[in-house]
Chain A
């Protein structure tokens, strides 16, 4: 474990739990008395930033959440959209950053388990996972074991529980060294008319505890996640322990219990444990509950009722079961050898009563717990912006493009991620049509052939550091571009917004800017945000980059119609879609080759990018192209090199020479996609692009064993590089750099 900065005051030492003095006064005002110790503990976790979104709630209203396909928006355990043929896709992403910083393996593993249960709580069978990871530099002695632990934790949990990890991304920057980011998204499927709810209802109905026994792990984890990391060894008790075996049994038992028809409502016991499930289910249903906490199955002796209320032990669900039908659910639990106990009843009055045997330890309106105060923090542009936006490109020395390309291909953000995803079972459930490694993963829907879904996850912390609004837009557009390369129509976004302390005006400004960027890009693409998660206080000494991560779900009409992620046929014509002007500002090249994180990001032309995305998507879906791959980090040079990888075929490419060759080759601009097309299909494709009003250029030809890139001649008519190309590298050398089969040292 790395040192995580100077020791601050630990959570356990806070006299008011995790509450601030004014919040404590608010609790007393609402209750018209002092809270009991148990109630104080419950307020502490329920009013934590993690559970209550105190600082983010107002800003998040800016996000578009409605759309024709939205079946459930934010507010339930996860969002749901129409997946066609009567199926609903349930989709959500969540962070597990703090736990992963303190205990990488278990922190990451329980992050997977937690998001799976959120999807399960909607009545959906989890069918796919994606993860977005941020670490310090992988050659850093503190980062390497941390990264290994996180990846192993994701693998151990996801592989065992039988949900494929079909995609993800990994980026590195020094700001994540002590505060890594572990964001996990999960997709589930359920019949649209069988989506479950967390709204408790029906006085007299049973409140049923289902799943693993409660222990002392994850104590007050939600509160721990809502302050800066302190490096306090006692923080380890705030990390949950994952048991994927029990998690797997819980999936099957929960789905089987739902199939009985006896379950009225359910929710997982995740952050804030049983406290959250009791209060949210009651509050959402406008009812109360009367439960005896002594009946909760425990795995440790002498746990106090408060400990049981605050434990975040994993693999537990809370169910409301129709009165008289309890045995149907308990029978299912016995079959799966899981503890299940009726711990109380739903009551009509909106009063949550928790008893410890005969002694009442909690008695309050559950809405007091769920309606935490909301804050409108001060926001101010960070002072660093003026400085970092200053970049004189002409002062940068020119490097040998071939060396630069190879260095970029070896970079942590651009190299092949095979070393990570081969540790994840990405094929189980036998739906994975396009495995990790392409722009987007594609899954077939076994029960609705030939349709499918595509998934992509993207985030660009460096861009958000330079310009949070533009950087957030880029994340959304990049995800949509990735889906377009799979021929998928965007259907829903779920996001993880990772930021430092919202109590700092400069940080909060970046947050509001990023939310605005997401909203604008989603509006332009007409895709709703159906849910997500905000993770603040990601700082341990240094603040992380503002890092909004976007996971996007798309619908694929026919999974058999798809483009490859790289060249397939020698002689095929290479076409560049979109005409954004590539810039070195904020680029991967600038950081990796010149050691600079600087520049002014151009504001994306949203309508133009949206047109390109639609055009590429339809061209792929109609089978007009052989391959499609977008230009992202590393610019067109890296994109072209990546197109050579799957079949190890080279290409000859000529690019219009405008300005410095490094800007042409490695400059980045959103809205550019490289496609290859059979020679007899080129006319149709160009005509197709014209109809979408999307600029296209024929830039080269597939073939040979080398990637040769040079300047097009002045007329622009030639598509072969001139006699002195910028780049001329054997594909084997590119492949060696890109996928050295290396690991974290």
Chain B
């Protein structure tokens, strides 16, 4: 089981993600350089946090045009799991693999703090070891994380269960005060309809060990490991499900 971690110039959570996957989760982890054009042999791809290309122009905008993203697009189209964390989420949005945009935080500045998110969907490769309504305590660290889509798209996202996580309080209520960046509808993470491509602003890799404040994020990586294991050794192109009724729809989307 090998998870690839893409390294753009300016990625800075690549090593943290590598540590969480390899040293904490116990899976094989490999770095994938931004100029790679093939993702063969990888069971999942993670786009880590950071400031790819300095986030100059617009967060994630330049990285979206890099060679590796063409490969990621094909990989995602084949129904393979792709996780974007923070800057990785921004890159997925800029690549149009996920809908919407990530705007400047409503406070107008960078925010680094622990927040809570509620699992809205437990049938993705990244949440299949969780239950809907589970609350995770994870850190955020971003300046541009305010999720936005137009009303029509929001309706579609809601209808198609593409909202994966929402910011919430300790009781699980998606209140305004629990929303750290002004995200529309408290959206912290979105997925494709199939759930195989998912982006979120909070950092699960930073919350994978209790000693650094929370181990809730590990459950996202554990989900991924379980989902990969459930698919068997030979990767099926799409649709082969995980156990426990958490089978992803596996429908490829060529957004």
A430 touching B205 in the complex, CB below 8 Å, given contacts A245-B51, A245-B56, A444-B212: yes
Whether the Cβ atoms of A428 and B51 lie closer than 8 Å is no
The segment from B9-17, B92-100, B149-157, B239-247 that touches chain A is: B9-17
Residues of A within 8 A of B55 (CB): 160, 245
Residues of A within 8 A of B16 (CB): 428-430
Chain A: minimal CB distance from B112 (Å): 5
Name B19's contact: one of A155, A162, A446 (CB within 8 Å). A446
Name A428's contact: one of B12, B20, B143 (CB within 8 Å). B12
Residues of A within 8 A of B111 (CB): 422-423
Instruction: Give bound CA distance, A160 to B113, whole Å.
Output: 16
Residues of B within 8 A of A365 (CB): none
A718 on the B face (CB < 8 A): no
A160 touching B9 in the complex, CB below 8 Å, given contacts A248-B51, A426-B112, A444-B211: no
Residues of B within 8 A of A444 (CB): 211-212
Residues of B within 8 A of A694 (CB): none
A430 touching B209 in the complex, CB below 8 Å, given contacts A152-B109, A159-B110: yes
Instruction: Give bound CA distance, A424 to B140, whole Å.
Output: 11
Chain A: minimal CB distance from B94 (Å): 17
A162 touching B50 in the complex, CB below 8 Å, given contacts A249-B10, A430-B16: yes
Residues of B within 8 A of A425 (CB): 110, 112, 141
Most buried by B among A162, A244, A423, A559: A162
A572 on the B face (CB < 8 A): no
Chain A: minimal CB distance from B106 (Å): 13
The segment from A81-89, A431-439, A727-735 that touches chain B is: A431-439
**From B16, which residue of chain A is reached at the shortest CB distance?**
A430
Whether the Cβ atoms of A432 and B112 lie closer than 8 Å is no
Residues of A within 8 A of B12 (CB): 160-162, 248, 428
Residues of A402-440 at the interface with B, using a CB-CB cut-off of 8 Å, are 421-433, 435
**From A249, which residue of chain B is reached at the shortest CB distance?**
B9
Residues of B within 8 A of A246 (CB): 54
A244 touching B54 in the complex, CB below 8 Å, given contacts A249-B9, A427-B112: yes
A458 on the B face (CB < 8 A): no
Whether the Cβ atoms of A433 and B211 lie closer than 8 Å is yes
A688 on the B face (CB < 8 A): no
Instruction: Give bound CA distance, A156 to B56, whole Å.
Output: 12
Residues of A within 8 A of B139 (CB): 427
Residues of B within 8 A of A428 (CB): 12-13, 16, 141, 206
Whether the Cβ atoms of A427 and B206 lie closer than 8 Å is yes
Instruction: Give bound CA distance, A45 to B207, whole Å.
Output: 47
A243 on the B face (CB < 8 A): yes
Instruction: Give bound CA distance, A421 to B143, whole Å.
Output: 14
**From A436, which residue of chain B is reached at the shortest CB distance?**
B112
Whether the Cβ atoms of A155 and B51 lie closer than 8 Å is no
Interface residues on B, range: 20 to 34
Residues of B within 8 A of A433 (CB): 211-212
Instruction: Give bound CA distance, A66 to B56, whole Å.
Output: 45
Whether the Cβ atoms of A155 and B211 lie closer than 8 Å is no
Instruction: Give bound CA distance, A433 to B206, whole Å.
Output: 11
A509 on the B face (CB < 8 A): no
B148 on the A face (CB < 8 A): no
Residues of B within 8 A of A422 (CB): 111-113
A159 touching B141 in the complex, CB below 8 Å, given contacts A444-B212, A446-B19: yes
B213 on the A face (CB < 8 A): yes
Chain A: minimal CB distance from B239 (Å): 35
Residues of A within 8 A of B10 (CB): 160, 245, 248-249
Whether the Cβ atoms of A155 and B110 lie closer than 8 Å is yes
Interface residues on A, range: 20 to 34
Chain A: minimal CB distance from B215 (Å): 12
Instruction: Give bound CA distance, A446 to B203, whole Å.
Output: 19
Residues of A within 8 A of B143 (CB): 159
A594 on the B face (CB < 8 A): no
Whether the Cβ atoms of A427 and B141 lie closer than 8 Å is yes
Residues of A182-206 at the interface with B, using a CB-CB cut-off of 8 Å, are none
A560 on the B face (CB < 8 A): yes
Chain A: minimal CB distance from B195 (Å): 27
Instruction: Give bound CA distance, A531 to B41, whole Å.
Output: 49
Chain B: minimal CB distance from A225 (Å): 27
Q: What string of 1s and 0s marks CB contacts (under 8 Å) between B29-49 and chain A?
A: 000000000000000000000
Instruction: Give bound CA distance, A423 to B110, whole Å.
Output: 5
Instruction: Give bound CA distance, A426 to B203, whole Å.
Output: 13
**From A444, which residue of chain B is reached at the shortest CB distance?**
B211
Residues of B within 8 A of A249 (CB): 9-10
Q: What string of 1s and 0s marks CB contacts (under 8 Å) between A150-174 and chain B?
A: 0010011001111000000000000
Instruction: Give bound CA distance, A152 to B107, whole Å.
Output: 13
A336 on the B face (CB < 8 A): yes
**From A158, which residue of chain B is reached at the shortest CB distance?**
B110
A337 on the B face (CB < 8 A): yes
Residues of A within 8 A of B113 (CB): 422
Whether the Cβ atoms of B211 and A559 lie closer than 8 Å is yes
Instruction: Give bound CA distance, A245 to B9, whole Å.
Output: 8
Instruction: Give bound CA distance, A421 to B54, whole Å.
Output: 21
Instruction: Give bound CA distance, A243 to B56, whole Å.
Output: 10
Name B109's contact: one of A155, A426, A430, A432 (CB within 8 Å). A155
Residues of B within 8 A of A560 (CB): 211
Residues of A within 8 A of B212 (CB): 427, 430-433, 444
Residues of B within 8 A of A421 (CB): 112
Name A423's contact: one of B109, B203, B205, B211 (CB within 8 Å). B109
**From B205, which residue of chain A is reached at the shortest CB distance?**
A430
**From B33, which residue of chain A is reached at the shortest CB distance?**
A335
Instruction: Give bound CA distance, A155 to B51, whole Å.
Output: 13
Whether the Cβ atoms of B112 and A429 lie closer than 8 Å is no
Residues of A within 8 A of B13 (CB): 162, 428
**From B209, which residue of chain A is reached at the shortest CB distance?**
A430
Whether the Cβ atoms of A245 and B141 lie closer than 8 Å is no
Residues of B within 8 A of A248 (CB): 9-10, 12, 51
Instruction: Give bound CA distance, A441 to B111, whole Å.
Output: 19
Chain B: minimal CB distance from A61 (Å): 40
Instruction: Give bound CA distance, A422 to B180, whole Å.
Output: 11
Instruction: Give bound CA distance, A424 to B141, whole Å.
Output: 8
Whether the Cβ atoms of A429 and B15 lie closer than 8 Å is yes
Residues of A within 8 A of B110 (CB): 155-156, 159, 423-425
Residues of A635-685 at the interface with B, using a CB-CB cut-off of 8 Å, are none
Q: What string of 1s and 0s marks CB contacts (under 8 Å) between A557-585 and chain B?
A: 00110000000000000000000000000
Residues of B177-230 at the interface with A, using a CB-CB cut-off of 8 Å, are 203, 205-206, 208-209, 211-213
**From B15, which residue of chain A is reached at the shortest CB distance?**
A429
**From A156, which residue of chain B is reached at the shortest CB distance?**
B110
Whether the Cβ atoms of B19 and A423 lie closer than 8 Å is no
Residues of B32-86 at the interface with A, using a CB-CB cut-off of 8 Å, are 50-51, 53-56
| 7 other A-B residue contacts (CB within 8 Å) besides A162-B51, A245-B55 | A162-B12, A243-B54, A421-B112, A423-B112, A427-B112, A427-B206, A428-B16
Name B residues whose Cβ lies closer than 8 Å to a Cβ of A: 9-10, 12-13, 15-16, 19-20, 50-51, 53-56, 109-113, 139, 141, 143, 203, 205-206, 208-209, 211-213
Enumerate 25 A-B pairs (CB-CB under 8 Å) in ascending A order.
A159-B51, A160-B51, A162-B13, A245-B10, A245-B54, A245-B56, A248-B9, A248-B12, A248-B51, A337-B9, A421-B112, A422-B111, A423-B111, A423-B112, A424-B110, A425-B141, A427-B213, A428-B206, A430-B19, A430-B20, A430-B208, A430-B212, A433-B212, A435-B213, A444-B212
Q: Which 4 A-B pairs have the closest CB atoms?
A: A245-B54, A162-B12, A160-B51, A425-B141
